[in-house]
Amino acid sequence: MSVGVFGGAFDPPHLGHVALVRAGVERFGLDRLLVRVVADPGHKRVATRPDVRLHLAELAFAPLGVAETALDPFPRTVDSLEALDLPDPVFLVGADEFVSLPTWKQPARVLELARLGVATRPGIDGKQLDAVLETLERPDRVHFFPIDPLPVSSSEIRARAARGAPIDAFVPAPVAEEIARLGLYRGVETGGGGGMLGEDPTERTTPT
Ligand code: ATP
């Protein structure tokens, strides 16, 4: 029984997240995928209540069949993995997030608790990834897998929704319908990172 974990603010969940997870499930032969919706992502600004983000994530990831979606009370990955106490889990992340691994809380302990499955896309700077690997005691715990590039981020979707632009091309259909039904992100102040758009990862605000 192999278990994967995928964490995020999911404000909202989008097709980039789903593509990453689909590829990760296949690459690691995952029987279960625990989607962790970080209730209070610390320094990262969220526009939406945790229970609403949980609901959107359930809609986004349910079609995978293996996803179990829940709120995560821990903003930091290491604390979440300690609490989950899983046998040899694979923690899935985007390459942009992996580049910031040295700034996560206790990265060495993270790699003791889980292997990292890092989704890469064409255009990712391999030297940056190598530089991070060189800082690790256990680089053997990191596995890269390719995904098709999907230039989409939650912050961009919030910005689009706030100005009334369509978001259907960026989120699963049930998520788009629910965002419209609940009137989410209308006129909200947007901000935060840019997903895998290739921005400077040091400017990301997610503490992992
Ligand atoms: P924001 O724009 O608000 O920073 P985000 O789109 O980056 O949000 P998060 O919830 O912060 O979404 O990201 C959760 C995980 O999804 C991270 O591991 C991140 O690397 C990954 N991810 C984000 N965007 C993409 C994308 N377009 N394709 C693949 N993975 C992505």
Residues 6+ apart with CB under 8 A from 172: 13, 15, 18, 59, 60, 63
Identify the CATH number of the domain defined by range 3-152: 3.40.50.620
| Cα 51 from Cα 29, distance rounded (Å) | 29
The pLDDT value recorded for residue 188 is 65
| Cα 93 from Cα 144, distance rounded (Å) | 10
Q: Is the pLDDT of residue 100 over 80?
A: yes
For the ranges 56-70, 94-108, 118-132, 162-176, the lowest mean pLDDT is seen at 118-132
Of 125 and 94, more confident:
94
pLDDT, averaged across the chain: 90
Residue 120 CB–ligand 1 contact under 6 Å = no
Run of H or E residues at 172: none
Q: Measuring from atom 4 of ligand 1, which residue has the nearest CA?
A: 193
Q: What is the mean pLDDT of residues 126-147?
A: 96
120 - beta bridge partners?
146
In a mutational test of the pocket of ligand 1, which residue from 153, 175, 208 has the highest number of ligand atoms less than 8 Å from its CB?
153
Residue 77 CB–ligand 1 contact under 6 Å = no
Run of H or E residues at 4: strand 3-8
DSSP 202: G
118 - beta bridge partners?
93, 144
Structure tokens at 139: 């680089």
What digits encode the pLDDT tens for the residues 155-183?
999 999 999 999 999 999 999 999 999 99
38 - beta bridge partners?
72
119 - beta bridge partners?
94, 145
Of 194 and 92, more confident:
92
Residue 99 CB–ligand 1 contact under 6 Å = no
Residues 6+ apart with CB under 8 A from 101: 107, 110, 116, 132, 135, 136, 208
Atom of ligand 1 nearest to the CA of 95: 20
Burial-class residue 155 by CB neighbours within 10 Å (0-12, 13-18, 19+): buried
Q: What is the mean pLDDT of residues 51-67?
A: 98
Q: What is the mean pLDDT of residues 19-38?
A: 98
In a mutational test of the pocket of ligand 1, which residue from 69, 90, 154 has the highest number of ligand atoms less than 8 Å from its CB?
154
Q: What is the mean pLDDT of residues 57-74?
A: 97
Residue 75 CB–ligand 1 contact under 6 Å = no
| Cα 22 from Cα 25, distance rounded (Å) | 5
